[in-house]
């Protein structure tokens, strides 16, 4: 994973912790999909089997909407069915994270805005390091420091919010030697709720003895994607070390959602994400 992707993961972890288990749908949120409206529920489930026969299951259900203009909305509810967090993304790529309990919203700029802000902060940091005489001699060394810093922040954010984001990122880095040799095979096509999807299976093997393991460890990731809706309908990630993670779309309806679903209510207080982060930084000083 590149430094920019890691930085985006950290920002999402800091601003959108409640949506961490809905990550499969986020794979395709970088682009605006028009003229393909729908509403559906997305179920994310993690099952981990313990050596004593016990089993731990974590399940989350979200509701998703997309209109013909390409705007999206995601509602994350608690066990009582009450909406805890709502994420609205407009056609310009600007995202709003709403908290119904206190009627507040955080505005996260479009990708271009985020990239510009990140570059500006990076330049300021490099200038400070140069002033202090701590700037590494090579670009590679600088990148290594940035990556390590992002990994640390991601780990802290994941631990703080209880979703294990840092552990998953660390795991991806640890497996990079073997995952870079992963094999992908086509699974053909099948229907999910009447929607045709195309499947792929990506897998790699960690040889015996590499991690102290007696036998080889096989990690697989299965994905089913609908070209028509440009939407991931099902994924399953299997790793003997961490268990099985599945994601599936249910109760999909191809109807135009109400326009009011994609607007921030007038009685909400909206705060810019950058300003909020700066305020937290000032409070810690």
**pLDDT of the residue at 281:** 54
| Separation CA 203–CA 187 (nearest Å) | 13
CA separation (Å) from 164 to 9, 171, 175, 224?
Answer: 12, 11, 17, 24
Higher pLDDT, 40 or 161: 40
What band does 177 get if pLDDT is binned at 50, 70 and 90? confident
Query: How crowded is the C-beta side of 220, counted as CA atoms within 13 Å?
Result: 11
- Most confidently modeled range among 13-17, 118-122, 215-219: 215-219
What band does 278 get if pLDDT is binned at 50, 70 and 90? low
The CATH H-level (homologous superfamily) assignment of domain 3-284 is Lipoprotein localisation LolA/LolB/LppX (2.50.20.10)
Higher pLDDT, 216 or 132: 216
Spatial contact of 184 and 200, defined as CB atoms under 8 Å apart: yes
Mean pLDDT rounded to a whole number for the chain:
77
- Most confidently modeled range among 4-18, 23-37, 229-243: 229-243
What band does 280 get if pLDDT is binned at 50, 70 and 90? low
Higher pLDDT, 139 or 120: 120
Extract the tokens encoding 68.
Answer: 């013909």
Neighbour count for residue 148 (Cβ, 10 Å): 10
- Mean pLDDT, rounded, for 169-178: 66
Per-domain residue ranges of the chain: 3-284
| Separation CA 264–CA 278 (nearest Å) | 23
Q: Rounded to the nearest 10 degrees, how much is the dihedral formed by the CA atoms of 264, 266, 269, 275? A: 60
| Separation CA 137–CA 205 (nearest Å) | 37
Confidence check: pLDDT of 159 > 50: no
Percentage of residues in the chain with pLDDT exceeding 70? 66
| Separation CA 162–CA 13 (nearest Å) | 10
Extract the tokens encoding 28.
Answer: 């395709």
């Amino acid at each position: 994973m590149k430094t920019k992707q890691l930085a985006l993961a950290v920002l999402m972890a800091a601003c959108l912790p409640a949506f961490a288990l809905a990550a499969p749908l986020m794979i395709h949120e970088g682009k605006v999909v028009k003229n393909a409206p729908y509403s559906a529920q997305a179920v994310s489930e993690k099952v981990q089997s313990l050596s004593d026969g016990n089993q731990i299951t974590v399940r989350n259900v979200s509701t998703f909407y997309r209109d013909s203009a390409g705007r999206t909305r995601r509602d994350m509810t608690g066990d009582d069915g009450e909406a805890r967090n709502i994420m609205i993304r407009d056609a310009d790529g600007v995202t709003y994270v709403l908290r119904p309990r206190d009627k507040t919203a955080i505005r996260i700029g479009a990708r271009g805005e985020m990239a510009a802000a990140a570059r500006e902060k990076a330049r300021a940091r490099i200038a400070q390091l140069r002033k202090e005489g701590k700037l590494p001699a090579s670009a590679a060394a600088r990148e290594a420091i940035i990556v390590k810093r992002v990994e640390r922040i991601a780990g802290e954010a994941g631990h703080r919010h209880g979703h294990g984001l840092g552990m998953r990122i660390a795991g991806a880095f640890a497996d990079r030697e073997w995952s870079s040799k992963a094999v992908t095979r086509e699974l053909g096509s099948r229907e999910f709720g009447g929607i045709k999807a195309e499947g792929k299976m990506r897998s790699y093997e960690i040889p015996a003895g590499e991690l102290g393991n007696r036998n080889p460890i096989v990690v697989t990731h299965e994905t089913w994607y609908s070209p028509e809706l440009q939407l991931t309908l099902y994924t399953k990630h299997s790793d003997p070390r961490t268990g099985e993670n599945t994601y599936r779309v249910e109760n999909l309806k191809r109807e135009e959602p109400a326009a009011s679903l994609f607007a921030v209510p007038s009685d909400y207080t909206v705060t810019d994400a950058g300003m909020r982060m700066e305020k937290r930084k000032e409070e810690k000083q």
